[in-house]
Amino acid sequence: MDYSQKFHELVQSQLERVKKIKEEKDFIDYQNLDTIIIGIIGGDGIGPAITSQAQRILEFLLKKELQLEKIEFRTIRGCTIENRARVNKAIPEDVLNEIKKCHVLLKGPTTTPRKGDKWANVESANVAMRKELDLFANVRPVKVPELGIDWTFFRENTEDLYALGSQGINIDDDIAFDFKVITTPGTQRIAQAAFEYAKNNGKNKVTVVTKANVVKTTDGKFLDTCKKIALDYPEIEMDDWYIDIMTAKLIDEKRRREFQVMILPNLYGDILTDEAAEFQGGVGTAGSANIGKRYAMFEAIHGSAPRMVEEGRDIYADPSSIIRAGAMLLNHIGYSQQAEKLLKALEICSVSERKIAITGRSDGATGKEFADYIMDTIKKL
């Protein structure tokens, strides 16, 4: 293999991506759309079961807007592992075309094949969708009021080790290379998103997390770029931490209360947000927003639990995470009152009142019963 040629091609692809970022338009304004199209992607395993419950709740909250045709729901079929493996694509072409006709998406879990399992080793549908729709900001809130935890993570979602994650090179049997890519405009836009969020939500501190003491060139660029953006927000304090000590500080009961908004390159963000979600009850309770300038996608961050489907238990799967993602979707398209009601009902139904509980088995409630409980609770708010 001609490595210099291969490297040259990778560099070209990234130069093109940077050019596109620089040319991109500003954020879409949902208020200016006649109809906001919400695409529902069931995904794999328990995905269709839980996603359909979240959809029922959204339809309930947006009843008026649906009648006025200000909102339209579209079911996007075919984003399943069987289909993806069959055409050997992370997202089949026809599915991607349908997705691109929507404005925002609610997405159930999609299976990411691992080397050696029964599926063709296609790229993760999550990663592909983030790249295809340029969903550069992965926003993950974690709140545990009784512990004084109120964090919002801004994980960069298109660069770092993920940009060329499936294009590493095996030089020979002994040496393998992967590539880490950080760009100035790619970092500027995530940093701006985080600082804007802080400014608009009464937060006065933003923390940048890197390993710039060791990974000097790429993480160094990430940190320097964030520092420059911070100059535009003099009312907000910026500090920076290395990922190793940051991981430790999240379990430091005193120190962790001080963190508010965090900005991280993709991989550190992936890891730290799983740790953070654990304080809130695990990844199953967290929702995740993937935001770009034209599209936005909201998802559950747990897996597809194929075993639950094999055992016929998908109707008992917990839809909390995808419902929480639905609340983030509502907020994003400007229905913040409905979002607030939904979050309040979620809190009542899963913590403070908890008339029924989901166990994942037939001794617990079904996802449908839980969704009904949520809607009944909303009616009483």
Q: Which residues bind ligand IPM (CB under 6 A)?
A: 112, 124, 126-127, 270, 301
Q: Which does 160 bind (CB under 5 to 8 A by kind): ligand IPM, Mg ion, none?
A: none
Q: Of 332, 335, 329, 364, which Cα lies nearest the Cα of 350?
A: 364
Question: Which residue lies nearer to ligand IPM by CB, 53 or 126?
Answer: 126
**What are the distances in angstroms from CA 351 to CA 33, 320, 378?**
37, 12, 15
Task: Report the partner that residue 126 touches, choosing among ligand IPM, Mg ion, none (CB closer than 5 to 8 A by kind).
Answer: ligand IPM
147 token code pair: 């512990």
* Residue number, 127 or 358, with CB nearest to ligand IPM: 127
Of 304 and 350, the one with the shorter C-beta distance to ligand IPM is 304
Q: CB 269 → ligand IPM: shortest distance, Å?
A: 8
CB count within 10 Å of CB 329 equals: 24
Task: Write the interaction track for Mg ion spanning residues 270-299; mark x where CB under 5 A is met and - where it is not.
Answer: x-----------------------------
Residues 6+ apart with CB under 8 A from 221: 182, 183, 184, 187
**CA geometry: angle 148, 375, 351, nearest 5 deg:** 30
Could you tell which of Mg ion, ligand IPM, none binds residue 246, using a CB distance below 5 to 8 A set by kind?
Answer: none
Give the shortest CB-92-to-ligand IPM separation in angstroms.
Answer: 18
Task: Tally Cβ neighbours within 10 Å of residue 226.
Answer: 24
- Between 62 and 125, CB nearer to Mg ion: 125
Smallest distance, Mg ion to C-beta of residue 190, A = 17
Residue 127 interacts, among Mg ion, ligand IPM, none and using kind-specific CB cut-offs from 5 to 8 Å, with ligand IPM
Q: Strands (DSSP E) along the chain, which ranges?
A: 36-41, 71-76, 104-107, 137-144, 149-156, 169-170, 176-177, 205-210, 237-242, 261-264, 287-291, 296-300
**What span, in angstroms and rounded, lies between the C-alpha atoms of 259 and 257?**
6
Please tell me the distance from the alpha carbon of residue 272 to that of residue 61, in angstroms, as a whole number: 33
* From Mg ion, ligand IPM, none, interface partner of 318 (C-beta below 5 to 8 A by class): none
Distances (CA, A) of 31 to 26, 28, 39, 74, 331: 14, 9, 18, 19, 13
The nearer residue to ligand IPM, 79 or 365, going by C-beta atoms, is 79
Q: Quick one: tokens of 26?
A: 């500003």
Complex with Mg ion: residue 301 or 329, whichever CB lies closer: 301
Choose the one of Mg ion, ligand IPM, none that binds residue 377, judging by a C-beta under 5 to 8 angstroms depending on kind: none
Which CB atom, from 281 or from 364, has the smaller least distance to ligand IPM? 281
Among ligand IPM, Mg ion, none, partner that 124 touches (CB below 5 to 8 angstroms by kind)? ligand IPM
Residues from 207 through 266 that contact Mg ion (CB under 5 A): none
CA 42/CA 19 separation, integer angstroms: 33
Residues at the site binding Mg ion, with contacts judged by CB under 5 A:
270
